[in-house]
Structure 1
Amino acid sequence: MLSARHHRNALTGLTVLACATPALAAAQAPDDSGSDWGLDISLILEGIYYNEMSEGIDTPAGFDDGHSHDHGHGHDHDHSFDDGFNLGHNELVFEADLGGLLDGTLMIGFDDSDIEAEEAYLTTRSLPAGLQLKAGKFLSDIGYINSRHVHDWDFVDRPLVNEYLFGDHGLQEIGVQGTWVAPTETYTRLGVELLQGDQDGGIAAFDDGPVSEKSGPRIATAFARVGPDFGPDHAARFGVSGGYVTQTGVTEIHGDHGHALEGDAWFAGLDAVYKYDSGRAYGHGDWNVKGEYFYVRRDLDQFDGHEHGHGHHTHMHWESADSLTEKQDGLYVEGIYGFAPRWQAGLRTEALGLTNDAVEGSHHHGDEYFTIESMDTSYRHSAQVTFRPVEPVFLRAQLTQNDFVDDHGDRDRGLEFMFQVNVALGAHGAHRF
């Protein structure tokens, strides 16, 4: 694990994207024009043992898939794991550079049933004045956890606020990003993104409604990072993020009638990280604390549809109804301590829906329509122990209590245990701050 001094030095010298994935160094060969190419290949393998020790409510109130407005999740909160052994989230990563001008990254994620190009992008390396551009498919740099992959997390699972507000994989889109690192002693990085807005879940979920689909890009984000100097043994980073979505919504058809929501949305958040380096071997005595908060607001127009025509010549006629405003938020705070060489222990507490004015589908005179319901907050508490026999390998045991409330206001607690094995094949690169 890198020390706090190393993290800070990496921050202050940052002019290119730091990839969190370890890489296997390969020989460089000149191309036809004389430029040097370098290709790095890495493989992350993960296995997870999962045991639902006691069954509770699957999904937090306001975010479930049993009602009309599900934000595109379509899953229960079981991590898609079966009880017993599971092949977790694995990654094959290719990274190449073009003569100091561009870096190219292709990250392929797979498990036992699916394979996907999770990230595929180019980044510049030689723009002046601390500027950098990135283009392709990538994880947005909003917040802290969103841009990090599984092997960079301190817990087995993604925080609730990131999963349920931005999608199962966080905010992951095709688009462009521009960043600027200020020429100051205090690390300062500013960035903006334009993203297509085609992902299935989260704030930008959209399902063909009564108004023609807007062309992309449909998401614009902005973020700022500051890393003040707290001395040789301390490192910190504070951030603020926000974004605007031009189109979000959902449509449901029930035979000869339907209901739809369409509108726009915006979000804003804060994140903070503090790390302490004890100077002892293999992370013994090191500790870090981090947390994030995000707030999302959706302003939605409601439409009622009725089928017109006969036979094959039918169409859905939509009429505008009431407008609705959905407001939701969430946060987490976690702390990790190195209690022995190569050993860490951590605690995390989470709240989802501190503000939870969510769209619900209800029934009135036989027709389904949308309403706003104020729902209670759901919580989750986790404890983990991690052992790193060598730096590219870790074994992690985690116990989690889900303290979720459902849409009817009933609260129940579930307990689950996970054991994770994560192996990075190849030379292990530096972790991001």
Structure 2
Amino acid sequence: MPLTPFSRPVLAALASLTLAAPGTAAAQWTAGDDESAWGMDVSLILEGIYYNELSHGNDSPAGFDDGHDHGHGNGDDHGLDDGFNLGHSELGFQARLGDLLDATVIIEFDDQDIEVDEAYLTTRALPGGLQLKAGKFLSDIGYINNRHPHEWDFVNRPLVNEYLFGDHGLLEKGVQATWLAPTATYTQLGVELLQGETSGIANYEGSQSPLNDQDRILRDRSGPRLVTAFAKIGPDLGPDHAAQFGVSGGYARSYQVTDEHSTRFEDWDGSAWFAGVDAVYKYSAGRAYGQGDWRLQGEYFYREIDVDRRDVNFEADGNGPVGFVRNEQSFKNQQDGIYVQGVYGFAPRWEAGLRAEALGLSNDVGRGDGESFGTSYRHTAQVTFRPVEPVFLRAQLSQNDFVDDHGDRDRGLEFMLQLNVALGAHGAHRF
């Protein structure tokens, strides 16, 4: 929601709680005489980004521009103005609710908007390695999807995650169940039932038009509309090496998109599914402040949308009266993407990374006409300095090699300088 005269002092008051050391009165509350005392940890992540578009290329990859209007300001696809920007900042609350539940709320804000990013409960004491999560949360599909920007190795998320699952990744309301197998090799299996409203795999629009109900083609469908499943395996490679391999997929039983034209709606109605693999390898050299450490990471995802397309008049025209249906078609859209990245600690507190991305290796989209777009690429290099553990400064240079809807390729070059500061209680990052 937009910042208002009321929300600004509220946000300032909440942020001031994180300036005290973790565990003090300003950062923790207890239940007093209650034997099942609970505490709340508060953290604040502040991010600033300097952005400079050194040369302008195509704004977005061909075939992937639906639902990705990021820009405000000069129209770049990151929502950043040339110059200084307040990036992805967040205020987090975590509480242990006795011995049964953990509660997490993460509020995201910038200089214009504030919204609840995640809000969920997680069980603590279920038997047999089971755990349940319920609320609004980032899905555990793939590797990077459930990680917040301060956990990334680059300033921006990979193209495949952004353009297949949405601006914030796969972020939905629903429930998740995971099972940790009682084996020497780390093995986790999980399923999620999600509402299916905002992700690129499960776009959903209810009946919103000036048409009468009997004239409307798209129907409101109750959730959950999206189910996902994933498996993660981490073999034991000894004290200096670690790896994790994952597979994941999902099915959306309701995929709906509506575009409004001068006198008609263009309606897409059908289903969608996706599948992907991910792998991460980490090496610890055992030297001070990360020197000699390696991190290698990659993901591939494929998406297929199977829809019926119709044009429906909401005004009478030369083709027919209000509610007239024409141009009915059935077709499938197929798209995918991949990225591979590596980061190396070349000196104490210093690291450098490279990332290569391809989006639309399979890029068959259209309106049943078999239209196929080309593949878009992005190549990125970064250098990161961590003067103290909660702070990092990152310089990044990216070349966007995007093909447009006409098949023309136009390269752009952009530079970003990111400052990220973590205040208050903040848990260790996941593997």
Structure 1 runs (4+) deviating above 4 angstroms are 307-310
Secondary structure at the aligned position of 1:162 is classed as helix
CA distance in 2, matches of 1:146, 1:27: 29
Distance 1:86 1:256 in 2: 40
Counterpart of 1:423, as a letter, is V
1:399 to 394, 397, 400: 397
Match in the other structure for 2:224: 217
Aligned-residue offset at 1:252: 2.4
Where does residue 316 of structure 1 map in the other structure? 323
1:378-397 equivalence runs, <5 A: 378-397=376-395
1:38 has 2:39 as partner: yes
Deviations 1:135-188 (A, max 9, x none): 000000000010000000000001000000000000000000000000111000
Q: 2:42–2:425: 8 Å Cα contact kept in structure 1?
A: no
Task: Write the mapping of 1:136-155 to structure 2, written as runs, cut at 5 A.
Answer: 136-155=135-154
Quote the Cα distance in structure 2 between the aligned partners of 1:296 and 1:24: 43
Partner in structure 2 of residue 122 of structure 1:
121
Is 1:432 aligned with 2:430?
A: yes
Return the alpha-carbon distance in structure 1 between the equivalents of residues 45 and 28 of structure 2.
Answer: 21
* Residue segments in structure 2 that go unaligned for 5+ positions in a row: 1-20, 208-216
Distance 1:136 1:171 in 2: 14
Q: Are the structure 2 counterparts of residues 27 and 302 from structure 1 closer, same or farther at C-alpha, using a change threshold of 3 Å?
A: closer
Mapped partners of 1:36, 1:406: distance in 2: 58
Distance in 1 (CA, whole Å) between partners of 2:61 and 2:316 is: 41
The Cα shift of 1:306 comes to: 2.8
Counterpart CA distance in 1 for 2:43 and 2:70 is 30
State how 1:86-101 maps to structure 2 within 5 Å: 86-101=85-100
Which residue of the partner structure matches residue 272 of structure 1?
279
2:349 is the alignment partner of 1:342: yes
Post-superposition CA distance 1:248-277 (Å, at most 9, x none)? 132223333332111100000000000000
Judge conservation of contact 1:208–1:250 (CA < 8 Å) in 2.
Answer: no
| 1:409 alignment partner in structure 2 | 407
C-alpha distance in structure 2 between counterparts of 1:208 and 1:73, whole Å: 19
- C-alpha spacing 1:27/1:117, structure 2 compared with 1 (3 Å): closer
TM-superposed deviation, 1:100: 1.9
Matches for 1:289-304 after TM superposition, within 5 Å:
289-304=296-311
Match of 1:250 in 2: 257
- CA gap 1:387/1:179 in 2 versus in 1, 3 angstroms: same
Q: Is the 8 A contact 2:269 2:307 kept in 1?
A: yes
The AA in structure 1 aligned to 2:186 is: Y
Aligned-partner SS, 1:163: helix
In structure 1, give the amino acid aligned to 2:62. A
Gaps of 5+ in 1: 1-22, 65-69, 361-369
* Kept after mapping to 2: 8 A contact 1:45/1:422: yes
Q: Report % sequence identity.
A: 67
CA contact (8 A) 1:301 1:320 kept: no
- Cα distance in 2 for partners of 1:431, 1:100 equals 23
User: TM-score w.r.t. structure 1 length?
Assistant: 0.87
Find the aligned partners of 2:366 and 2:256 in 1 and give their Cα distance.
11
Aligned equivalent of 1:171: 170
In 1, the alpha carbon distance for the partners of 2:370 and 2:89 equals: 39
Contact 1:31-1:37 at 8 Å conserved across structures: no
1:44 Cα deviation after fit: 0.2
CA distance in 2 between counterparts of 1:376 and 1:24 reads 51
1:290-318 CA deviation, whole Å, 9 max, x = no partner? 000000000010112234779xxx84233
Q: Is the 8 A contact 2:264 2:315 kept in 1?
A: no
Letter in 2 for 1:340: A
RMSD: 1.8
How far apart in 2 are the matches of 1:91 and 1:233? Answer: 33
**What is the identity, as a one-letter code, of the residue corresponding to 1:73?**
H
| Counterpart residue number, 1:67 | none
Measured in 2, the distance between the counterparts of 1:62 and 1:338 equals 37
In structure 2, how many angstroms separate the alpha carbons of the residues matched to 1:401 and 1:85? Answer: 20
Secondary structure at the counterpart of residue 332 of structure 2 = strand
Q: After superposition, what is the alpha-carbon deviation per residue over 1:269-290, rounded to whole angstroms, capped at 9, x for unaligned? A: 0000000000100000000100
State TM-score, norm by structure 2: 0.88
Q: State how far apart, in whole Å, the 1-side matches of 2:22 and 2:126 are.
A: 27
Q: CA deviation at 1:27?
A: 4.5
Going by fraction, where is strand more abundant, 1 or 2?
Answer: 1
Supply the AA of the counterpart residue of 2:128.
Answer: A
Which AA in structure 1 matches 2:109? F
The counterpart of 2:419, out of the listed 398, 421, 432, is: 421
Counterpart-to-counterpart distance in 2, 1:157 and 1:181:
31
How many residue pairs get aligned? The number is 392
CA distance, structure 2, for counterparts of residue 321 and residue 304 of structure 1 = 7
